[in-house]
Amino acid sequence: MRVLFIIIGISFGVTSGIAQCNQYYQLSEGSEWEMESYNAKGKITGKQAQKVTDFSGGANSFTAIVQSVVYDKKDKEVMKGDLEFKCENGTMIVDMRNFINEEQMKAFQSYEMQIESDNLEIPNDLSVGQTLKDGSITVTTTNSPIPMNMSVNITDRKVVAKESVTTPAGTFECYKITSNSTMNTKMGIGMTFNFSTVEWIAPKVAVVKSESYRNDKLQGYTLLTKRN
């Protein structure tokens, strides 16, 4: 659940003077930003530092590789990986493979894997009451000693309000988006996690705040703290 929460909360720094495919996700090579994570009591649990390491495209489409480094509350690096984001004709396409635990994938990389996915989308124009496209991914192995099946489903994505949100990085006019997520992992013993997410997304900056809930109880949240 931690990995999914981190990736959903990704944000982009402002890029000025460059035509962009999507008004919410505006970025260029070298853009950097940070988000801090907190538990339900408001105590810091870590941070995520992101940087665009490769960018290609223009006004109508782009592909970006974002290096994400995760730190614990003592500022020790605990995870590092690359995320891919694409924009086509104004619509941001988020590859659902970003939502699968990278360490688990590495453990099975020597075996034959089958991946089926339906990517998330974020349109260029958001409005209150809008329903957004669901996303899903399923990963299975066919010849490993222990059969493995992992899946993530993100459903019921809705734009429910327009609100002003203040973080250490500034004050932003945002659209509030809610969604439900289910994570299933089966490696001999099956485990299922259900939770909901609330995100606040602002023009030029993308996600500035996100919250994660289980059984309607707040589990934690992230805030945009730095950007350039």
DSSP string across 70-99: EEETTS-EEEEEEEEEEEETTEEEE-GGGG
Longest CA pairwise span in the chain (Å): 54
Q: Which pair of tokens denotes residue 59?
A: 């006004």
Contact predicate 176/161, CB 8 Å: yes
Report CA Rg, the chain: 17
Distance between CA atoms of residues 180 and 142, nearest Å: 29
Distances (CA, A) of 36 to 15, 33, 85, 98: 21, 10, 21, 19
pLDDT band at 92 (very low <50, low <70, confident <90, very high): very high
Long-range contacts (CB closer than 8 Å, 24 or more residues apart) made by 114-121 = 114/139, 114/140, 114/141, 114/142, 115/139, 119/93, 119/94, 119/95, 120/93, 120/94, 120/96, 120/154, 120/157, 121/91, 121/92, 121/93, 121/94
pLDDT of residue 16: 39
Chain-wide mean pLDDT for the chain?
Answer: 86
Going along the chain from its start, the domains and CATH numbers come out as 2-223 (2.40.360.20)
pLDDT of residue 1: 39
Q: How many CB atoms lie within 10 A of CB 110?
A: 10
Distance between CA atoms of residues 30 and 107, nearest Å: 31
Name the one residue in this structure whose structure tokens are 């993100």: 154
Name the one residue in this structure whose structure tokens are 């509030």: 176
Say if residue 27's pLDDT is above 60: yes
* Chain centre to alpha carbon of residue 163: 20
Give percent of the chain with pLDDT exceeding 90.
60
pTM of the model: 0.84
Say if residue 59's pLDDT is above 70: yes
Distance between CA atoms of residues 207 and 88, nearest Å: 19
Q: Which of 58-62, 85-89, 110-114, 172-176 has the lowest mean pLDDT?
A: 110-114
pLDDT of residue 5: 42
pLDDT of residue 50: 92
In sequence order, which residues have a C-beta less than 8 Å from that of residue 16 and are 6 or more positions away? none
